[in-house]
Amino acid sequence: MKVVLFCGGLGMRLRDYSDKIPKPMVEVGYRPILWHVMKYYAAYGHTDFILCLGYKADFIKDYFVNYDEYMSNDFVLQKGGGMKLLNTDIHDWNITFCDTGISACIGERLRRVKEYVKGEEVFLANYSDNLTDFPLPKIVEAVSSSDAVAGFVAVKPPHSFHVVDIDGGSQVRELRETKNSDLWVNGGYFVLRQEIFDYLNKDEELVMEPFSRLIKNDKLIAMKYEGFWQNMDTFKDRTVLHEMHTEGHAPWQIWNI
């Protein structure tokens, strides 16, 4: 299945990085988070990628055009300086780079790559800034075996919230940190049928207007997952993921299992 990845956002909450590079190129370990997302899909055999580019697209293009396999694989430096790779990394990936605009929303980015998923009865899509160890075939099978047009993974927010108790006026009576155990949010990892384009109009956000139409027709499903899921919206998020990688506890790296 083809995998559409949305890589064109500004990443404003990661301004320390996004002023210089696009958010998908912020590194976790010594590889961009986009690479980690793609490796996850490749581990399940999905190696045909469509990157919806926008902000600082040249950084993403340059990274893959000039990708060096030896940086993440064992190799032998032979006599005369020749190199023999003992294993490979992205050699079998097909990557389509599509300029979908600087300010386009997610739904519009998807609409602009419609021609590249033509012929795919079912295809995959995702943001380029969240990682998980969710067993992908489960949501693929759930959508494929139903009449749903779209499905996604629902997760619980990894962050806690500051709950404020206010009296009848403006006086704060209590402030506490908590997680809402009943709250489920969109975790990405979309599975979409071609019919999604029948529900998607120009300049619409994917998970708002189109998904609302799907809900009315009972064509949208979600699969709850309480395992590992972490997005990278802030510098703190990036630090958490980087430390997990450095310490050798990176659940999303299913390709190492």
Is there a contact between 124 and 192 (Cβ–Cβ < 8 Å)?
Answer: yes
Helix (H, G, I), strand (E, B) or coil at 31: strand
Q: CA–CA separation, 163 vs 134, rounded Å?
A: 29
DSSP state of 14: G
Residue 144 has pLDDT above 90, yes or no: yes
Residue 11 has pLDDT above 60, yes or no: no
Per-residue burial over 89-102, b = 16 or more CB atoms within 10 Å of its CB, e = otherwise: bbeebebeebebbe
Q: CA–CA separation, 184 vs 222, rounded Å?
A: 10
In the chain, % of residues over pLDDT 90: 56
CB atoms within 10 A of CB 46: 18
Residue 171 has pLDDT above 70, yes or no: no
Name the residue among 89, 90, 2 with its Cα closest to residue 49.
2
Tokens representing residue 73 in the block = 């694989």
Domains recognised in the chain with CATH numbers: 2-75+84-155+183-256 (3.90.550.10)
DSSP state of 79: G
* pLDDT tens-digit series, residues 21-63: 888 999 898 889 999 999 999 999 999 999 999 888 899 999 8
**Confidence at residue 234, expressed as pLDDT on a 0 to 100 scale:** 84
DSSP state of 121: S
Q: CA–CA separation, 9 vs 104, rounded Å?
A: 8
Name the residue among 246, 94, 119, 252 with its Cα closest to residue 193.
119
pLDDT band at 225 (very low <50, low <70, confident <90, very high): very high
Is there a contact between 51 and 9 (Cβ–Cβ < 8 Å)?
Answer: no
Tokens representing residue 103 in the block = 């300010």
Torsion, Cα of 143, 144, 147, 151 (10° steps): 20
pTM, two decimals, is 0.86
Phi–psi pair at 132, nearest 5 degrees:
-155, 165
Residue 192 has pLDDT above 70, yes or no: yes
CB atoms within 10 A of CB 76: 9
